[in-house]
Amino acid sequence: MKFFQKTKKEVNKHQKALSELIRVVGEERILSAIEDRICYSYDATRQKVLPDIVVRPADTNDVSNTLKIASKYKVPIYARGAGSGLTGGAVPLMGGIVFDLKNMNRIIEISPDDFTATVEPGVVTKELQDEVAKFDLFYPPDPSSAAFSTIGGNVAECAGGITGLKYGVTRDYILSLEIVLPDGSVINTGGKALRSTTGYDLTRLFTGSEGTLGVFTKITVKLIPKPEKILTVAAYFSERDDAVDAADLIIDNNILPRTLEFLDQMTINAVRGYTGADIGEDVKALLLIDIDGTEGSISHEVPIIENACRESNAFRTKVAETAEERDAIWATRRSISPALYNIAPHKINEDICVPRSKIKEMLQRVDRIKTDQPIYIANFGHIGDGNIHVNTMYSDDPGQEELAESIVNKVMKEVVKLGGSISGEHGIGNKKSQFMELEIPSHEYEIMKKFKSYFDPKGIMNPGKMFIR
Amino acid sequence: MELRAGKNKIDKDVFEELCSAIGRECIFDSIEERERYSFDAANLKSMPDLVIMPRSTEQVSGILSIANKHNIPNCTRGVVLPGGAVPIRGGIVLDLKNMNRIEELNARDLTITVEPGVVMKDLQDEVVRSRLFYPPESGSEILSTIGERVAECTGGMTGMKYGVTRDYVLALEIVLPDGSVINAGRKTLKSVAGYDLTRFFVGSEGTLGVFTKITLKLLPMPEKTGTVMSCFKDIEGALDATDTILSKNHLNPRALEFADKTCIDAVREADNGKIPEEAEALLLIDVDGNEKNVTNDISRIDAICRENSALNILITHADEERNRLWDIRNSIFPSPSKIASVKYDEDVTVQRSKVRDVLKRIYELSNTYSLEMSVSGKIGEGHIHLNVTGNSADADDVSVHSLVSQILNSVESNGGTNISGLAPHESEIMKDLKRMFDPKGIMNPGKIII
Amino acid sequence: MTTDWKEEVSKCSKCGKCQTVCPVFLETGDESSVSRGKISLAEALRDKQIVYTERLREHVYSCKKCMRCRKVCPSDVDYEVIISALLRGVADEMGIPLMPKIIFRYMLPRRILFDLMLKVGSKIQRFIPGKRRGQMRHLPLLFMGKRWIPTLAKKTALKKFSTTRKLKNPKMRVGLFTGCLINYIYVDIAEAVVDVLNRMNIEVVIPQGQLCCGTPSSTMGDHKSSKKLAEVNREVFESHNLDAIVSACATCTKSIKMDYLRTLGPSWQQMSDKIYDISEFIEKYCGNDYKAKPIDEKVTYHDPCHLMWVRGITEEPRDVLKKSSDFVDMDMAGSCCGGGGIFTIIHYDLTLKMLERKVNSIERSGADTVATNCPGCIMQIADGFAGKDSKVKTTHSIQILQKAMVNGGVDNSDTS
């Protein structure tokens, strides 16, 4: 755990801010004991920096009051959902206040007639999905952390997930936001009507802004009808490129699968070693395909998908219809994360995104970078939208971490050369801010910084993230 | 009537500068050319000082930097601008119709990169040739350009199922008012590096910069599309059927269009007797997907319409027949103007669940003011298109105004389009952002989007 | 201890997945409630960035030790090692509160003293007013709090079954580990176990001299007491030549089957392999050859944490209930009822919230009776219904089976 070194003046200001917070927001919403602050010092990047104060607001008013005080004393403020981010978005790099929004977790309204739901930011994404499913509705963005990450965090990072190819990402489903700006003022963007367009699209400007511009206090999302049925096809390949070809061929056949997941050989080996899953040694690549729709539509698409896979040299396909069968297939995907930790204790998980036509090339370049290096790289991910998770696994041995970092560095450069993006869905945070300028030209970078300084002139919102200079 | 047309207010020096920067052949300054780009607005005829038709990003950049330097107001346009940029203060009209190259259609990546002047019909033809699909089409406005569509973030007929333009814009090349060129977004389906400049510019109506290249996301073409046209003897029947189709059965049609009796009567001549005399309302519904999907959805929609006492139902899978049915719909828009002088024409959106209430209020008000109105729209998305037609003798401007403002109040109180504009704080923010990009206010100055 | 907690904490990747299952976090939303938070605290302790304080103790005690998190952890962190170390640290550095200490150190290991204390309690409780449906306010003697708990039995299970009912030609001979709650309060459950197994021609020995399993003391970090108890229990059970050991208490089963492997070492493995939850035992050894006439009652089942999440046993109790009643599943059957030792006393308000969730699930299922395999859960859930004046009964699944067997007149026992 790190402690951000503060000047005497800063310590003094923090003290004043704390006593004012206790007075205005209330002692019961503030944690200041070190035993509590430690629990808000990290996120899923394992970085740990101790915050000075934790505020747990109950409503928009608390959020506004806290921001006013933070602004007055120029105390950094770090909004936090579930702390499950992969780029350091919630880590209080410069100490200050951590804003724990988990207690603002009411589902305010589900309107089945309007196909909308309005929620507070602390609602867990899966809970929203489950609640709307009761009305036969569907909130598609489905990051693999959906069972614990919050909708506020998802909007802040513009989370994607396995349904991106067919259904898009978080920003495609946000209709309106209530946002508290750093000065404590509250604005409303967008509208609950499906087509409201008034003025500039602030909703999307704030979606994916990673807590650097303001804090969301209310989020209205668009819902769509829940597909009647989901079916899973698994296809096994002896060549990696064949799996990529199969994915292409499926889409060429006018089918947009709900999910199209790809696992490379390293990933498969890890899973086999970990779960003893029944995947033969000859399997070098695996596609897990979910299709959804009506019964009739699915039965129409299954043979097309199976053919496409076979045409691309899949030596086996497996169709799973029941929930149990599907679950058995997806267990492989779910076990990737623990399986990888079995190979090495640490990983850098990059979520690069390239145009689909560049996937083969990208994977080859990763191979070339890895050549002969004593490190493991496992590639898997959402192949349909070109979003590949490149996981560099390293051990505690000396030099390993540096090696992993240099590999990631090289991978990022190749991604940008191929017209890709350094982050498809995880965000930038502080973990990737060094790569921002690889992808974003300097003028665009400056424009983004102008937005930042316009909304947050004092620089108190999530300082240390997204931009490095 | 004030006529500001005659004199060209652009200094000779500036004109020369423009000519040397981009070439004389792109610049038009004859009265005839300029007149073609002038508009009538509130009895004030205004005309641009110059019309420029650039062919490249560099030229657009050159024009804007000169205009910026000399504070010349500026507006971009394609072919048709529905109520769009009116060069009230004169200045330069940038007509991008010559920037109409389709640069790349990549079927593998499901993307297409085009210049802004590409006409929607050409774009659609190109996309269809590759058996792909660009959903935000817009029935009759097939002549507008993609640049305008992105600038306006239009929805089109298929919005309910497929969303609006911004959901399909992946990347933009933008010339900012100072002439600098930026690239926003990435040609990948996902990208979250930095703030979302792309979507911020989509829908900015030409007030922040000029798009010179647009990359759009495409979808595989749905295998089939089927159409149902159903007539009802009362409006309630049509609304009930809509609710059942959408809320209870979740059929997610590709398009769903409602028209009331006034609209129907206006297109009687076009319908070839397909619409019964006693029809008070009409639903035109498209579904798409694979063959089985379409057949299944259509039979369910058919059953639902029957349950809601539809008068007659026409079903077709054939493209030609489908087009004929949609022609009826498309003729609805120009038609009211055929039967009467349209006093007021407005598109509003409300929360979908509030459509019924708002329609009720509209007809109540129509009775109170004895003003004839026609209502249509994509009610599945809460979209209502209304015309006040001035058939009755006492349709003076005052009563029309009063009627409309009462309707809009009702719309606003039903979660709809914010007619009275943004709340003061939000409005300030947008003005600030406008200033941030366009400090001299040269971009589309006639356009008030805030 | 085989695994070092100081290394174990480094395995946590801080992904946050434990939030999905932690019953305490579900209520508080506070990171200090969930394993990831406690692991961070352990890390800070290891790195000497904090010391044991009152606040830390509160956080450490806010764990229910249900071990759900262990089940879902993608990095396979052995959280039990970490929380045990924290509890022991709290005990070592800050001491154990006096009252529990006296009980753990002096009374639990001495059956006579503990019996005597509870006997006095059972006499006194007769004069306590305001009992509801056999429940009364929490014993002021043992704990503090405002809970409804059942009255103490007049005769403990150990006394009641001090002599074994001999069978002539038994299929097997098993020992019953009663556990404190069954011994002192739910003697009916012990009776049902003996009756049901006898009817299946299985002889049941209740070894005298067995003591508390040690969970309460280890929960308070008093591993010294736990070890002492484990050693006595080992001696007692090893002295009988038993084919198997069963328990009707999920927590006791977990403790003697799994925790003892740690306290007593690998030499316990052989005994550990023979220890079963009662339903698990019945389904394994008598699953196909017992008959019962299902009772005319709608019965639902609550999964005790220590059975479902620690041992993965969910089907066997349901199979038993399906054969003996009109079984109906409830939603969220695996959510924690909130019961369990020190947690219920220190975090009573949280306990109530969890209980309310559970009671609502049970009511939604439309069952007349909720059965479970843990007397701790029974006590907790009955507490919930007593407060509500509801008609739903709370019982052990073995008692339902007993009724069904009596109902069907099934008796395969061969008494000498």
Distances B258 to B44, B201, B283, B315, B351 between C-alpha atoms, Å: 36, 31, 5, 16, 16
CB contact under 8 A, A38 and C14: no
Average pLDDT over residues C178-206: 94
Average pLDDT over residues C42-67: 93
Chain A contact probe: residue of C14, C47, C69, C76 with most A CBs at under 10 A: C14
Average pLDDT over residues B212-216: 97
Quote the CA–CA distance of C165 and A421 in Å, as a whole number: 75
pLDDT of C143 > 50? The answer is no
Between A and B, how many residue pairs show a Cβ–Cβ distance under 8 A?
241
Confidence of residue B157 (pLDDT cuts 50, 70, 90): confident
The predicted-structure confidence for A236-270, as pLDDT tens digits, reads as follows 999 999 999 999 999 999 999 999 999 999 999 99
Confidence of residue B401 (pLDDT cuts 50, 70, 90): confident
Nearest-CB residue to A147 (from C20, C40, C41): C20
Which chain C residues have a beta carbon less than 8 Å from that of A338?
A: 73-76
Quote the CA–CA distance of B62 and B55 in Å, as a whole number: 12
Which chain A residues have a beta carbon less than 8 Å from that of B419?
A: none
Distances A151 to A119, A128, A129 between C-alpha atoms, Å: 8, 8, 10
Q: Give the rounded percent of residues in chain A with a pLDDT score beyond 90.
A: 85
Three-state DSSP class for C288? coil
Nearest-CB residue to C50 (from A35, A46, A148): A35
Give A335→chain B minimum CA distance, Å: 24
Range of weakest confidence among A158-167, A405-414, B82-91 = B82-91
What residue ranges define each of the domains in chain B, with the CATH number in brackets?
A: 2-98 (3.30.43.10), 102-220 (3.30.465.10), 222-336 (3.30.70.2190), 340-430 (3.30.70.2740)
Q: Give the rounded percent of residues in chain A with a pLDDT score beyond 70.
A: 99
pLDDT of residue B446: 62
The predicted-structure confidence for B352-383, as pLDDT tens digits, reads as follows 888 898 888 888 888 888 888 888 888 988 88
Quote the CA–CA distance of B210 and B76 in Å, as a whole number: 7
Quote the CA–CA distance of C95 and A23 in Å, as a whole number: 36
| DSSP letter, residue B71 | T
Range of weakest confidence among A160-164, B69-73, B266-270, B366-370 = B266-270
Give A311→chain B minimum CA distance, Å: 17
Count of C-beta atoms within a 10 Å radius of residue C281: 24
* CATH 3.50.50.60 given to domain A8-103: no
Chain B contact probe: residue of A139, A195, A305, A448 with most B CBs at under 10 A: A195
Chain A contact probe: residue of C17, C27, C57 with most A CBs at under 10 A: C17
Confidence of residue B82 (pLDDT cuts 50, 70, 90): very low
pLDDT of A279 > 70? The answer is yes
CB contact under 8 A, B166 and A160: no
CB contact under 8 A, C41 and A35: yes
Quote the CA–CA distance of A35 and C373 in Å, as a whole number: 36
Q: Is residue C291 within 8 Å of residue C276, measured between CB atoms?
A: no
CA-based nearest residue to A315, from A417, A406, A236, A423: A236
pLDDT of C239 > 60? The answer is yes
Query: Is chain B adjacent to chain C, meaning 3+ CB pairs within 8 angstroms?
Result: no
CB contact under 8 A, C15 and A145: yes
pLDDT of B172 > 70? The answer is yes
Quote the CA–CA distance of A349 and C402 in Å, as a whole number: 55
The predicted-structure confidence for C360-407, as pLDDT tens digits, reads as follows 999 999 999 999 999 999 989 988 888 777 889 999 999 999 999 998
CA-based nearest residue to A77, from A57, A56, A95: A95
What architecture (CATH level 2) is domain A229-337? 2-Layer Sandwich (3.30)
Look at phi and psi of residue B250 and say left if phi exceeds 0, alpha if psi is from -120 to 50, else beta: left
C275-277 vs C244-247, strand pairing mode: parallel
Residue of A nearest to B295 (CA): A296
CA-based nearest residue to B109, from B183, B218, B223, B221: B218
The predicted-structure confidence for C330-365, as pLDDT tens digits, reads as follows 999 999 998 876 777 778 888 889 999 999 999 999
Q: Is residue B266 within 8 Å of residue B336, measured between CB atoms?
A: yes
Q: Nearest 10 degrees: CA dihedral of B384, B385, B391, B392? A: 30
Q: Give the rounded percent of residues in chain B with a pLDDT score beyond 90.
A: 42
Q: Residues B70, B72, B76, CA angle at the centre, nearest 5°?
A: 135
Range of weakest confidence among A124-138, B166-180, B251-265 = B251-265
- What are the boundaries of each domain within chain A? 8-103, 107-225, 229-337
Q: Give the rounded percent of residues in chain C with a pLDDT score beyond 90.
A: 63
A274, amino acid identity = Y
Q: Residues A6, A8, A13, CA angle at the centre, nearest 5°?
A: 85
CB contact under 8 A, A341 and C50: no
Nearest-CB residue to A197 (from B153, B191, B195): B153
Domain C5-94 and domain C298-407 have a common topology = no
A59, amino acid identity = D
B342-349 vs B310-316, strand pairing mode: unpaired
The predicted-structure confidence for A41-51, as pLDDT tens digits, reads as follows 999 999 999 99
The DSSP element (H or E) to which B269 belongs, if any, is helix B268-271
pLDDT of residue A193: 74
Token pair of C144, please? Answer: 């503090």
Quote the CA–CA distance of A391 and A194 in Å, as a whole number: 38
Token pair of C28, please? Answer: 């508080």
Token pair of C181, please? Answer: 């709650």
Give C359→chain A minimum CA distance, Å: 20
Q: Is residue A295 within 8 Å of residue A289, measured between CB atoms?
A: no
CATH code, C157-285: 3.40.50.1860
pLDDT of residue B6: 44
Which chain A residues have a beta carbon less than 8 Å from that of C55?
A: 33, 35-36
Please classify residue C55 by burial: count the beta carbons closer than 10 Å to its beta carbon, then call 0-12 exposed, 13-18 middle and 19+ buried: middle
Average pLDDT over residues A408-420: 96
Q: Is residue A243 within 8 Å of residue A267, measured between CB atoms?
A: no
CATH topology of domain A107-225: 3.30.465
Q: Of C31 and A192, which is predicted with more confidence?
A: C31
Give C228→chain A minimum CA distance, Å: 33
ipTM: 0.94
A212, amino acid identity = T
* CATH 1.10.1060.10 given to domain C5-94: yes
- Options 1.10.287, 3.40.50, 3.20.170, 2.60.300; CATH for C298-407 is 3.40.50
Three-state DSSP class for A98? strand
Distances B205 to A124, B76, C209, C232, C393 between C-alpha atoms, Å: 36, 9, 86, 83, 68
Helix then strand then coil, % of chain C, to nearest 5: 55, 10, 35
Q: Helix B291-307 to helix A295-311 angle, to the nearest 10 degrees?
A: 170
Confidence of residue B36 (pLDDT cuts 50, 70, 90): confident
Chain B contact probe: residue of A114, A197, A245, A253 with most B CBs at under 10 A: A197
Helix then strand then coil, % of chain B, to nearest 5: 40, 25, 35
Range of weakest confidence among A206-210, A302-306, B2-6, C17-21 = B2-6
Give chain B's mean pLDDT. 83
CB contact under 8 A, C40 and A102: no
pLDDT of residue B354: 86
Ranges of H-type helices in A209-335: 240-252, 265-275, 295-311, 323-334
- What are the boundaries of each domain within chain C? 5-94, 157-285, 298-407
pLDDT of B407 > 80? The answer is no
The predicted-structure confidence for C103-124, as pLDDT tens digits, reads as follows 666 666 777 767 777 776 666 6
CB contact under 8 A, C14 and A145: no
A102, amino acid identity = K
Quick check: C75 contacting A, CB < 8 Å?
yes
Token pair of B208, please? Answer: 């922040």
Q: Of A260 and A2, which is predicted with more confidence?
A: A260
Q: Of B10 and B192, which is predicted with more confidence?
A: B192
pLDDT of A382 > 50? The answer is yes
pLDDT of residue C139: 43
Three-state DSSP class for B153? coil
Count of C-beta atoms within a 10 Å radius of residue B408: 17
Q: Is residue C104 within 8 Å of residue C219, measured between CB atoms?
A: no
pLDDT of A216 > 80? The answer is yes
CB contact under 8 A, C16 and A84: yes
Distances C50 to C55, C56, C96, C113 between C-alpha atoms, Å: 11, 9, 20, 40
Three-state DSSP class for B93? strand
Highest mean pLDDT among B312-326, C192-206, C288-302: C192-206
Confidence of residue A374 (pLDDT cuts 50, 70, 90): very high
Cα of first residue to Cα of last residue in chain A, in angstroms, is: 24
Q: Is residue A415 within 8 Å of residue A422, measured between CB atoms?
A: yes
Confidence of residue B47 (pLDDT cuts 50, 70, 90): confident
Locus of tokens 């930042």: A452
